[in-house]
Structure 1
Amino acid sequence: MGSSQPLDASRLTYTFTATPRAVPDTQTLSSTRQTICTDHMITAPTAATTENCGCSCTDRNTRRLLMSAQRISLPEFDPDELEKLICTLLSVDGARWLPRDRAGSFLYVRPTIIGTDAQLGVARPTAALLYIVVGYMARLDTPAGGKRLLTNPADTVRSWVGGFGYAKVGANYGPAVLATQEAFRQGYHQILWLYGPDGSCTEAGGSNCFVAWKRPEDGTKELVTAPLDDRLILDGVTRRSCLALVRERLQGEVEVSERKFTIGDLLEAAAENRHLESFAAGTAWFITPISLIHHRQQDIHIPTGPGGTPRDITGKLKGWLGDMMYGRVEHEWARVVAERGENNA
């Protein structure tokens, strides 16, 4: 599409590869950190149309990508048109890259928009490139023993009030790499990001964090996760799905709360045997039980199933969402994309 035109999926043109790559074996893929992309991608130059600095953001959900673009003054686009482009790309590559004999593998869709002005100055971009790539992913099973988290160093934060922790922008991830690498070195899987002097729990790596416990005042079983109103965390699509399913299917059994909770609350719940289970929810690792949190020389051991497998709420959510994702049940959240070959593009 031309750079002076709004995003319009109907103007898409096709160029198919003459040398399609082999779909990798999932076992081989699981043993490497390399991301293998499918055969095709979509590119769409765009131009600024509104008075909307920073220049890179990525996301899976089209409306959140638009919000993220607006937060850093990138050109706006129609999210519905982006959704059409994503579905078109999946209709071309999906069937060959998701063969029926490799159940459990999936495609990770990564739309990205970057400023492309021919200048080095810091200013609102007037031109941008929106592109979509799709990565082939093997099944990501729960780490043996469950996910182990290390709280962030006192001098490092991932997001802050007034910042952009709620937006899917590259600047949210680069500064977190150093702390994450140190967590890996010490034998942990991710960072539990705390914020403020009280140590409010925000995110587990790049995933939303959930805690199930019994409330101290009345023993009610509660599922709690950080709120969105202070804009410290990402409004995760998997997060929203988990909250909706628990409210719908576990009504009367589990009370759902979106509110602040601190590392002190977790230490207290563990000491009083009220901590029932915890999990991280996100796109790649999906629903993953958390078995341990290490904070300033203290270990918080969190109940899991045998070998770190999911417990009650975690297991139900993983099962319900997995059934939708892999087509074992029909649900309004699960959209079926028709296969499109080279002959009917």
Structure 2
Amino acid sequence: LTFRCYTTVRQSSRASRRSGAWMAVFALFRADTSCARMVTSAKRAALPEFCPLQLEQMIAELVRFDQGWIPSGDGTALYIPPICIGTDASLGVTRPTASKLVVVCSPVGAYLTAGRKPVKLYANPAHSRVAPGGAGAFKMGCNYAPTIAITDEAAAHGCDQSLWLWGRNQLITEAGTSNIFLYWRNKNNELELITPPTKDGLILPGVIRDCVLTLAREWNEFTVTERFPTMMELMEAAGDGRILELFCTGTPSVVAPCEQIVYKAKPNEEPVAIDIPEQRDAKPLFERLRETTTGIQYGKVDRPEWVRIVN
């Protein structure tokens, strides 16, 4: 059934090696939230229900068993993407009655290193990843396969990922498989952090997205707004010099800055490049958010409700 109807869901979490302890200690980052969201995705895919607490325990046991694979060093982690697939031997388009839940893992290095540049995004309104009433808010396999060819198109334009737009007003929704944040001075000359909302069901309610929103609101240094920025707004702000930062968030990259958008407005027009400035006067917001989030994972910042210790 999986091969015919793509009844597949996935999720992702990270396990980090903590230093300074007299014995090996590892931290699962917000695994409870990730597991609960995987159950939500499974329900949307009509897969048999499973217990999020048992899934979290499976992940903890795997981390304990495979701890030798967890790298040490800032930015490194064990990446854990559990998968659930329908396994009925059926050619019909029907609700699965059987499924297989698998937890796999892989060591990953630091996403941003000295040799790694900020990402470039390709925006083409001819392509859309989501639609109202669809499954854009869920980590279902059917959401990802159609994006691969568009990612190839982005690469042909010298970009790393697609900046997904939707609708007549070209709402900015996501970047690749990541959530997107715009940090700017709005028309009232106020510092503001904007990210698309989850209430419309168009985007994934990412775990790192939630971390960024929580931290930004706690810091209370600027306005935090959940709404869809438009491509026209972004271009106007770029022309006025009001864009401060654009960055993506996700489990593998945590927080990754964007340096340029290549925008192909119409099929018969050449794309234009919109440069995102680099902050030099002070530490960039994306860097502060990334350091705090990873600091919680590695035990440098205290936030016990966001981690599960495995030893």
Range into which the TM-score falls when normalised by the shorter chain: 0.7 to 0.9
The answer to whether the 8 Å contact 2:213/2:224 transfers is yes
Unaligned runs of 5+ in 2: 13-33, 265-270
The within-5 A match list for 1:115-134 is 115-134=86-105
The within-5 A match list for 1:1-345 is 54-60=6-12, 61-94=34-67, 96-100=68-72, 102-141=73-112, 144-152=116-124, 154=126, 156-216=127-187, 218-249=188-219, 251=220, 253-296=221-264, 297-305=271-279, 312-339=284-311
Distance 1:177 1:304, change over 3 A: same
| 3-state secondary structure, aligned to 1:337 | strand
Q: TM-score, normalised by structure 1?
A: 0.77
Distance 1:333 1:206, change over 3 A: farther
Q: Distance in 1 between matches of 2:97 and 2:70?
A: 38
Q: TM-score, normalised by structure 2?
A: 0.85
Cα offset, 1:147, TM superposition: 1.0
Task: Count residues with an aligned counterpart.
Answer: 278
Unaligned runs of 5+ in 1: 1-52, 340-345
Cα offset, 1:84, TM superposition: 1.1
Cα offsets for 1:28-82 (capped at 9, x unmatched): xxxxxxxxxxxxxxxxxxxxxxxxx751010131111111011110011111111
Cα offset, 1:194, TM superposition: 0.2
| 3-state secondary structure, aligned to 2:209 | helix
| 3-state secondary structure, aligned to 1:66 | helix
Q: Distance in 1 between matches of 2:86 and 2:131?
A: 24
Q: Distance in 2 between matches of 1:73 and 1:107?
A: 29
Q: Percent identity?
A: 38
Q: Distance in 2 between matches of 1:205 and 1:236?
A: 13
The answer to whether the 8 Å contact 1:227/1:259 transfers is yes
Residue 45 of structure 1 is matched in structure 2 by none
Distance 1:103 1:300, change over 3 A: closer
Which one is further off, 310-319 or 128-137? Answer: 310-319
| 3-state secondary structure, aligned to 2:155 | helix
The answer to whether the 8 Å contact 1:213/1:221 transfers is yes
Amino acid at match of 2:237: A
**In terms of Rg, which structure is larger?**
1
The answer to whether the 8 Å contact 2:296/2:303 transfers is yes
Which structure has more RCO (C-alpha within 8 Å, separation ≥ 6)?
2
The answer to whether the 8 Å contact 2:184/2:243 transfers is yes
Distance 1:290 1:311, change over 3 A: farther
The answer to whether the 8 Å contact 2:71/2:107 transfers is no
Cα offset, 1:106, TM superposition: 0.8
Q: Distance in 2 between matches of 1:212 and 1:324?
A: 23
Amino acid at match of 2:128: V
